[in-house]
């Protein structure tokens, strides 16, 4: 199974640990404990692409968003294949924090890293401070940001979709489908690692 490292970034209390907890354990805690330093979970995700099913292993890294932990970020983000950048729809300050997180990610990860912007806590409609329009206006500054996924870890809305979107993007950027045997293999290879055929010119990017 192909494994990928996914990191979460965003200010303290935006809901990073809650998103992971909903996705990996299907649970939600109103009084989630602060993350100390770095935490880690694994989950398998099945992606269907070109009528083929492929299982990807996501190694999901959680990070204590407090300033004092930021010096850990270079080692935390080392080798990351994807980054989820979160802001809290009930706290406008966290939207302004995005620029900082994007810079930290771009400074510490390769340019191939999949980035996805996530709005959290959409169940708290009465406390909302950031409209989708405002967030989109802000994010137009980033040419990688075409959409914002709006989630609630409390109700579970769009949590599965978030990680499925990440998985599909990881597949697109990192794997090819072999035309000979139909298996997916790393784009870094010049031959199919399953059927052994040298198929440099005979791969179909997905």
CA torsion angle for 182, 187, 188, 190 (degrees, to 10)?
A: 50
Q: Which of 17, 89, 162, 165 binds ligand GDP (CB under 6 A)?
A: 17
Q: Is 114:146 a contact under the CB 8 Å cutoff?
A: no
Interaction residues for ligand GDP, span 162-201 (CB under 6 A): none
From the list Mg ion, ligand GDP, none, pick the one residue 202 interacts with, judged by a Cβ distance below 5 to 8 Å according to partner type. none
Give me the 101-140 binding string for ligand GDP, x by CB under 6 A, dash otherwise: -------------------xx-xx----------------
Among the listed residues 85, 59, 57, 97, the one whose alpha carbon sits nearest the alpha carbon of residue 144: 85
Interhelix angle 159-174/16-25, rounded to 10 degrees, is: 90
> What whole-number distance in Å separates Cα of residue 118 and Cα of residue 94?
11
CB of 122 to ligand GDP, least distance (A): 7
Looking at 4, 15, 60, 80, which residue binds ligand GDP (CB under 6 A)? 15
Closest distance of CB 60 from ligand GDP, Å:
12
């Amino acid at each position: 199974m192909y494994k990928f490292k996914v990191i979460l970034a965003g200010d303290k209390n935006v809901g990073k640990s809650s998103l992971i907890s909903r996705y990996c354990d299907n649970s939600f805690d109103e009084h989630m404990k602060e993350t100390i330093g770095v935490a880690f979970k694994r989950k398998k995700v099945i992606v269907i692409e070109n009528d083929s099913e492929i299982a990807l292993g996501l190694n999901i890294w959680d990070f204590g968003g407090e300033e004092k932990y930021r010096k850990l970020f270079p080692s935390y983000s080392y080798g990351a294949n994807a980054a989820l950048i979160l802001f809290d729809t009930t706290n406008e300050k966290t939207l302004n924090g995005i620029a900082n997180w994007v810079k930290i990610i771009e400074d510490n990860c390769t340019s191939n890293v999949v980035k996805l912007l996530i709005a959290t806590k959409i169940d708290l409609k009465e406390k909302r401070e950031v409209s989708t329009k405002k967030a989109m206006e802000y994010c137009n500054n980033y040419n990688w940001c075409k959409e914002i996924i709006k989630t609630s870890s409390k109700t579970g809305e769009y949590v599965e979709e978030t990680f499925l979107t990440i998985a599909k993007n990881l597949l697109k950027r990192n794997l090819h489908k072999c035309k000979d045997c139909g298996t997916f293999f790393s784009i870094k290879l010049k031959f199919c690692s399953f059927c052994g055929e040298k198929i440099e010119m005979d791969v179909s990017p997905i």
